[in-house]
Each structure stands twice: as C-alpha cells, then as structure tokens.
Amino acid sequence: MKTAILNYSGTVGKTTIAAHLLSPRMNNAPIFAIETINETAEGLGVDVEKIRGEKFRDLFKKLMMLDDAIIDVGASNVEAFLDGMVKFEDSHAEFDFFIVPVTAGSKEQKETIGIITVLADFGIPAEKIRVVFNRVEADVPDEFGPILNFAKKQKNCIANPDAAIFENELFDLLAVKKVTIGDVLADDTDYKAKARELGKDGDAKLKTHYSDMHVIKSLAKSVNRNLDGVFSALFG
C-alpha cells in the first residue's frame, strides 16, 4: 500500500501519523519526507529519505519499485508536489490513498477543505481520499462539524468519525526522546525500579529520564490501541 499524507496546514500532525500510525501497520513501510524546512519523522527516531517537492520525478521512479511506501508531504512542499502530479499525468494512480489529517482549528479545517477539493479536482476518487481527525479532545462531530458537513455534501472524500486520534501527551514525549511507540512497547525495562534504585541523592538527570520513560510506557498501550482503531477505521 502506498499512501501520501498532505495538507496545506503545517500543524496537523502529518509526521506523527506517518511515524506512529501508518508505518508500523504497513510492514514498516519506508517514509519519504517531501520537506525542506520542518521536522520529519527522522526527528522521531524513524528512518526517512528526504526528497524536495520539485524532485517529483525521483519520487515517482522510487515508488514504481515499491509495494509499500509513505510519502509525508510538508506544507512548504505541497504546491511543488501537486505540480509534479500535474506534470506526470495520472501519477496519482501510483498512490492507493491520500491521507488528509486535520485538527479542530477553523483555519486548519478550512485548509483541509481546500486540499481535498484540489485532490478531487485532479480526478482522484472519493474512496482514495481519507480524513484523519487528529488531536481530538472528546467528540469528532462537536469539534469537526465543518469537515463532516463538507464531506457529506460534496461526497469527494471519506471522513469517518472513528478515524480519530485523541489528544495525548505521549506524542510530545516520544518526540523529545526520539523513540517510537513500537520501541516503547518492545522495551521491557522497569524504569520505575531503576529510578528508585538511584535513591534520593542519585543523578537527577538520569532519574528524570527514568521517570519520563515510565510515564511513556504507561501511556503507550492505550495510545497504541487508539491507533489500531484508527487504522482499522481508515482502511477496514
């Protein structure tokens, strides 16, 4: 499966979705970061190949040789990426899905509607354009009414409210430690015990690290279940 993640907005969690939602559930598919200025999944402890948006031909050639791939299109490179799709006619057929993450802000929802409209105008069928509701506080219909109403009216994308990643501090903690949820789940270290072993006068920096890792491990299982549900809601 080959998926492109894109939005005009640069603050909707594209890189987090590539590293933590998609790659672990797509046979650890390689991630191509179409980016020049912002953080890529490489900063989250994931191997990434960087390609500039204007080098669409290079990306297109690589995709032809792969069964699974994730293309994380940075906001600063969206226009160049879309221009590449225009120049290489029907190149969008090389992608199985276009994932469009959105957060609850009015600007982000407006820009999400914009990118979905552009993709649909390229002739990409609705079933290939999938919305992910990111940083959900409590309820998708309450927080993302404009997107849901747009999808219902235009019928040019799939906006399943069950594809909802709930707000959680884990993602920020993982970014600081540069580890993935998979790394955490595979780690059988008892960090609480290690922190206690240091005692009251132990190395403060190391104790903080152990405490942080204990918190991360405590959060990881429930977040991973959430992501399992989102992946199922996206792709069935």
Share of the chain above pLDDT 90, in %: 67
Tell me what the mean pLDDT of segment 144-149 comes to: 98
Q: What secondary structure letter does DSSP report for 167?
A: P
Q: What is the largest CA-CA distance in the chain?
A: 65
d(CA 92, CA 85): 6
The answer to which of 11-20, 46-55, 117-126 has the lowest mean pLDDT is 46-55
Q: What is the pLDDT of residue 42?
A: 47
The answer to which of 65-69, 87-91, 143-147, 176-180 has the lowest mean pLDDT is 87-91
Q: What is the pLDDT of residues 28-63, one digit of tens each?
A: 999 998 875 545 444 545 556 777 656 778 888 888
Q: What secondary structure letter does DSSP report for 127?
A: G
pTM value?
Answer: 0.89
**Buried residues in 65-97 as b, exposed as e (16+ CB within 10 A):** eeeebbbbbbbebbebbbebbeeeeebbebbeb
Tell me what the mean pLDDT of segment 198-212 comes to: 88
Determine the number of helices (DSSP H) and then strands (DSSP E) in the chain. Answer: 10, 7
Tell me what the mean pLDDT of segment 195-212 comes to: 88
Average pLDDT, the chain: 90
Q: What is the pLDDT of residues 68-114, one digit of tens each?
A: 999 999 888 899 888 888 887 778 888 999 999 999 999 999 999 99
